[in-house]
Amino acid sequence: MKSIYDYTQEQMIEEFKELGEKKFRATQVFEWLYRQNVQSFEQMNNLSLDLREKLSQIYQIGPMKIETKQVSQDGTIKYLLQLEDGGFIETVLMVHDYGRSLCVTSQLGCNMGCRFCASGLLKKQRNLTAGEMVNQVLTVMQDTQERISHVVVMGTGEPFDNYDAVMDFVRIINHPKGLAIGARHITISTCGLCHQIERYASEGIQSNLAISLHAPNNEIRDQLMPINKRYPMEQLRQSIENYIQQTNRRVTFEYILLKGVNDELKHARQLAHYIRGLNAYVNLIPYNAVDEHGYQQSDKGTVEAFKSELLRLKMNVTLRKEHGRDIDGACGQLRAMKVGEQHASHHEK
């Protein structure tokens, strides 16, 4: 069954045309879904009964099934949600003083194979649809009865390996007649698919770009992230430079500190050298242990020294505050599960 959440407003107008319905009906439905937040066609009482009946036969509507929900000491909530085909995905709500931010999953599994990350332990089973991403936002808003003000596409999956659906998703949640989540409050994170960075640059949208860099040179990045063989750091830098030139936007570099791997002062200097000249800042991320991988978190002192070295070199740098580590809801700890393969082993710790 198609999902009513799959459509941008423009696409919904097209879709309704094909159904033989007037354009303004599409706009009405769009507003019901995202302005009024209704969860059924019955509630759309400015549509005829016939139309409501017809829509409910064609489109899936309503929140996803919440399989489990874990609340962290810091208020972070990790949801395990069930997809229509039975698969499971995780999505994480973080509560900040500036609002509520949802970490959205873009694929069931991931093919990027980063050596340190839990999300790639299950190979990509399929892309999520735009509607499945939209519904993560709606389901959590419905469950918490609170507005989500920020979205980061940093859950399981590589968003630029599911480019079109992710861009539709961004347009749907950004639409002023809908959830109206500001583009500047939406961030897409990529491990560095250069061809898509180039496309993203010309979308004419103000959403943010984050790059999972995690290494100061090709030698280390090759070991950590297989994508670096396809798009080495020089090429990546060129794409980012083009992106910044075209969009005038500032880019975030994410850098996990891995003990004894990429956390020495000389690495900080190489990193600064790589970033110099770009309108960018570095977000240092403490590594979160993943049982299946052998990496360790850098010591506190090492992290501080690394940060100080970047500051000394006049880099913009922040240290990411971790959310929900006690519930395996922090960066790189999210996983997807196939049909039938529930989360037992993972959650019963």
Annotated active-site positions, please?
A: 90, 331
Choices 8-16, 18-26, 200-208, 285-293 (CB under 6 A): range interacting with ligand SAH: 285-293
Q: Using CB under 6 A, which of 271, 287, 309, 328 touches ligand SAH?
A: 287
Contact between 262 and ligand SAH (CB under 6 A)? no
| Residue closer to ligand SAH, measured from CB, 141 or 331 | 331
Please give the Cα distance from 215 to 226 (Å, whole number): 12
Any contact of residue 331 with ligand SAH (CB under 6 A)? Answer: yes
| Pair 298, 259: CB distance under 8 Å | yes
Residue of 188, 158, 156, 190 whose CA lies nearest to 338: 156
Interaction between residue 332 and ligand SAH (CB under 6 A): yes
Nearer to ligand SAH, 107 or 247 (CB): 107
Q: How far is the CB of 320 from ligand SAH (least distance, A)?
A: 9
Q: Is 185 helix (H, G, I), strand (E, B) or coil?
A: helix
Rounded to a whole number of angstroms, the minimum distance from the CB of residue 20 to ligand SAH is: 41
Angle, vertex CA 345, rays to CA 79 and CA 287, nearest 5: 65
Rounded to whole angstroms, the Cα distance separating 211 from 200 reads 13
Tokens of 93: 């709500």
φ, ψ (nearest 5 deg) of residue 94? -115, 135
Residues 6+ apart with CB under 8 A from 192: 211, 212, 213, 225, 227, 228, 231, 236
Give yes or no for residue 186 binding ligand SAH (CB under 6 A).
no
Residue 212 engages ligand SAH in binding (rule: CB under 6 A): yes
Separation between Cα atoms, residue 344 and residue 19, nearest integer Å: 44
Task: Name which position in 8, 72, 189, 228 contacts ligand SAH (CB under 6 A).
Answer: 189
Give me 311's structure tokens: 């500051």
Residues 263, 215: Cα–Cα separation, whole Å: 9
Q: Does 148 bind ligand SAH (CB under 6 A)?
A: no
Least separation in angstroms between residue 157's CB and ligand SAH is 6
Residues 291-330 that bind ligand SAH (CB under 6 A): none
The reply on whether position 116 binds ligand SAH by CB under 6 A is yes
91 lines the binding site for ligand SAH (CB under 6 A): no
Point out which residues bind ligand SAH (CB under 6 A): 112, 114, 116-117, 154, 158, 189-191, 212, 214, 254, 256, 285, 287-288, 290, 331-332
